[in-house]
């Protein structure tokens, strides 16, 4: 889940994460108008979603996206538009401007984060 104001860097973060999990030259267009883009990676499929233009969470069900939320790596911009479809286990990253740079706040939801959460907290 990627939150932040318009221009905070959500798409930039998603683009870098996708390239890190696929390959450095991966074309990663913004899904602003298509709502979603999918990518194949070694460990799991990756879905990049931009829900800014989403009217209702039920629209995701019409697109079949509710079925991939638990089975793939999902980078979701504007996750508050998921409503009740928000997965119980997720990592919520809030990006904000800090001077000329950015600050990322991580919030772990659900069980099973264990060592990753401890490692990032240090």
pLDDT of residue 103: 93
- pTM, two decimals, is 0.84
Whether the predicted pLDDT of 12 surpasses 80? yes
Average pLDDT, the chain: 86
- In this prediction, residues 19-39 reach a mean pLDDT of 87
pLDDT in tens, 40-84: 988 889 999 998 888 787 787 787 776 777 778 899 999 998 888
Q: How many domains in the chain?
A: 1
Whether the predicted pLDDT of 111 surpasses 90? no
Query: Percent of the chain scored above 70 by pLDDT?
Result: 94
Range of the domain at 25: 2-121
Whether the predicted pLDDT of 31 surpasses 90? no
Rounded Cα distance, 40 and 45, in Å: 5
pLDDT of residue 83: 83
Whether the predicted pLDDT of 3 surpasses 90? yes
Rounded Cα distance, 90 and 76, in Å: 11
Which residues are CB-neighbours of 32 under 8 A, at least 6 positions away?
A: 50, 52, 53
Residue ranges of the alpha helices (H) in 1-122? Answer: 10-21, 58-63, 114-121
CATH of the domain at 59: 3.40.50.300
Whether the predicted pLDDT of 122 surpasses 70? no
């Amino acid at each position: 889940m990627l939150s932040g104001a318009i221009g905070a860097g959500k798409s930039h973060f998603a683009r870098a994460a996708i390239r890190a999990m696929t390959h450095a030259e991966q074309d990663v267009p913004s899904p602003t108008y298509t709502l979603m883009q999918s990518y194949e990676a070694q460990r799991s499929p990756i879905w990049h979603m931009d829900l800014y233009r989403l009217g209702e969470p039920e629209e995701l069900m019409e697109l079949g996206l509710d079925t991939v939320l638990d089975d793939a790596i999902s980078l979701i911009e504007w996750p508050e538009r998921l409503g009740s479809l928000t997965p119980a286990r997720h990592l919520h990253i809030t990006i904000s401007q800090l001077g000329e740079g950015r600050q990322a706040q991580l919030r772990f939801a659900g069980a099973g984060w264990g060592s990753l959460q401890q490692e990032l907290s240090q």
